[in-house]
Amino acid sequence: MAVDPVVYGASERPPRGDYSRAQTDYTCPQHYAAYTDADHDTWRRLYERQAALVAGRACDVFIRALPSLGPSHHIPRFEQINERLYKATGWEIVGVPGLIPEVPFFTLLANRKFPVTDWIRKPEEFDYIVEPDVFHDLFGHVPLLFNPVFADHMQEYGKGGLKAHGLGACEFLARLYWYTIEFGLIRQEDGLRAFGAGILSSPGELRYAVESPEPRRLPLDIERVMRTRYKIDTFQQTYFVVDSFQELFEKTAPDFAPTYERVREMEEELAANAA
């Protein structure tokens, strides 16, 4: 095989994608001929269910860009999305067999390339899947890449990731990704809306994150985000809220090195006190 498969967190299951297809940068062509009629049908049903929920819950930027994914009745071809996406913001999507390691991931983002898993979940996983598949990656992440401010933010995140890797701080930066790009909320004039891909691609969490009285909703505070651990297998207990993508861009612009240091010290103290 060209590259090793990747697993994040503890898991009994081997990663699902076929990493022998990947090149050294972990990308691979979208294997379009491999999709079955059942796969296209899964896409169509996921899309229909989710599109019916976005009004009043997803942010306007997302809703306006969603048609740019193309017709909803079959899995989109990446190169067709790219014709529109590249014109809009200079971003491109590239196929990957599944999760990829930090450095190749950040490198792609820093070059305005967003990795999209090309396989789709099985019908028995219709409601819940742990690993990202093509539905999560395309439906959840790609519409916002049509927005110039968000698109620039994603590139800065990629560059910041390479820097965090050098500082041994990827774990803290990953929490920022989690609470913004995956699970972020935005306050529009007409109310609270979701912009995080993990929310936008989940029918249960889209309603919960925006409407439930249960979770905490805090204004975005970078250091607090970096101190907040997350769970990958339940709805979030805490969401962070921005007023605009410009706010997200500006709050993430300062040098994170001192923040990483403070968070690291705090975690070390906590660990020492627990021992």
List the beta strands (DSSP E) in the chain.
Answer: 92-96, 113-117, 185-188, 191-194, 216-219, 238-242
What the block records as the tokens of 59 is 């942010």
Closest C-alpha among 233, 222, 260, 196 to residue 9: 233
Helix or strand holding residue 148 (H, E): helix 148-166
Q: Interface residues for Fe ion in 219-248 (CB under 5 A)?
A: none
What the block records as the tokens of 180 is 């913004």
Asked if 184 touches ligand PHE (CB under 6 A), the answer is no
In angstroms, the CA 195 to CA 57 distance is: 9
User: What amino acid occupies position 231?
Assistant: K
Asked if 221 touches ligand PHE (CB under 6 A), the answer is no
In angstroms, the CA 41 to CA 161 distance is: 36
User: What amino acid occupies position 37?
Assistant: D
Pick the stretch among 6-14, 22-30, 226-234, 253-261 that binds ligand PHE (CB under 6 A). 253-261
Q: Which is nearer to Fe ion, 134 or 222 (CB)?
A: 134
User: Which listed option, Fe ion, ligand PHE, none, makes contact with residue 157 (CB within 5 to 8 Å by class)?
Assistant: ligand PHE
CB of 64 to Fe ion, least distance (A): 20
Asked if 35 touches ligand PHE (CB under 6 A), the answer is no
- Fill in the per-residue mask, 233 to 252: x = in contact with ligand PHE (CB under 6 A), - = not in contact: -------------------x
Q: How many chain residues touch ligand PHE (CB under 6 A)?
A: 9
User: Which listed option, ligand PHE, Fe ion, none, makes contact with residue 197 (CB within 5 to 8 Å by class)?
Assistant: Fe ion
Interface residue with ligand PHE, options 84, 163, 165, 207 (CB under 6 A): 163
Q: Interface residues for Fe ion in 147-186 (CB under 5 A)?
A: none
Question: Count of CB atoms within 10 A of residue 216's CB?
Answer: 10
Strand partners, 218: 240
What the block records as the tokens of 106 is 């950040």
Interface residue with ligand PHE, options 160, 184, 196, 198 (CB under 6 A): 160
Q: Which residue is nearest to ligand PHE (CB)?
A: 160
Helices and strands (H and E) in the chain: how many: 12, 6
What the block records as the tokens of 256 is 């994170």
Asked if 157 touches ligand PHE (CB under 6 A), the answer is yes
Asked if 107 touches ligand PHE (CB under 6 A), the answer is no
User: Which listed option, ligand PHE, Fe ion, none, makes contact with residue 98 (CB within 5 to 8 Å by class)?
Assistant: none
User: Which listed option, Fe ion, ligand PHE, none, makes contact with residue 104 (CB within 5 to 8 Å by class)?
Assistant: none
Question: Which residues are at the interface with Fe ion (CB under 5 A)?
Answer: 132, 197
